[in-house]
Amino acid sequence: MEETNRQRKIAGVLQKDLVDVLQRAAQDGMKGVLISVSKVSVTADLGVAKVYLSVFPSEKRKEIIEGVKSNTTSIRYEMAQRTRNQLRRMPELLFFGDDSLDYIEEIDKSLNGEDENPIKNPKILPRRQKR
């Protein structure tokens, strides 16, 4: 089912404010870590928002995502305070890691000849997991 205009607008508002909240938290506690919100998708009933986070350096992705998941209630409260004039109800936030940059980097490395040629042997490329 296609996303409605309202879902896209709410996702944009959430994405903009989540970037501020997460980057401020990263500045306070984690030096040298860059967190960006690559995508936000909101369900049709506006009750759940799936948030995809891209973390640099990628070695710390799992640790950062687990930390964000453990602080979901405080992040949701902060978001509710920021969006109280725009949203009646704050959707439940579900956080996922975005591995698209790693996937692109692997393809780029293969095409530059640093790895085995993926055109001759396509089985070497990792399969992305669909969510």
Distance CA 116, CA 47 (A): 45
Q: What are the backbone angles phi and psi of residue 26, rounded to the nearest 5°? A: -65, -35
DSSP 8-state code for residue 63: H
pLDDT at 62: 87
Distance CA 51, CA 101 (A): 16
pLDDT at 118: 63
Q: Is the pLDDT of residue 129 over 70?
A: no
Residue with tokens 């591995």: 99
pTM: 0.76
> What domains, with CATH codes, occur in the chain?
5-98 (3.30.300.20), 99-131 (no CATH)
Q: Please, which contacts does 32-35 make with residues 24 or more away whose CB atoms are closer than 8 Å?
A: 32/57, 33/57, 33/60, 33/64, 35/64
Q: Which pLDDT tens digit goes with each residue over 81-119?
A: 988 888 888 999 999 988 887 788 877 877 777 766 667
Distances from the Cα of 69 to the Cαs of 25, 46, 81, 93, 129, in angstroms? Answer: 13, 20, 19, 9, 20
pLDDT at 9: 92
Model confidence band, residue 8 (pLDDT cutoffs 50, 70, 90): very high
Q: Which pLDDT tens digit goes with each residue over 28-61?
A: 767 777 888 999 999 999 899 999 998 887 788 8
Q: For residues 79 and 18, is the Cβ–Cβ distance under 8 A? A: yes
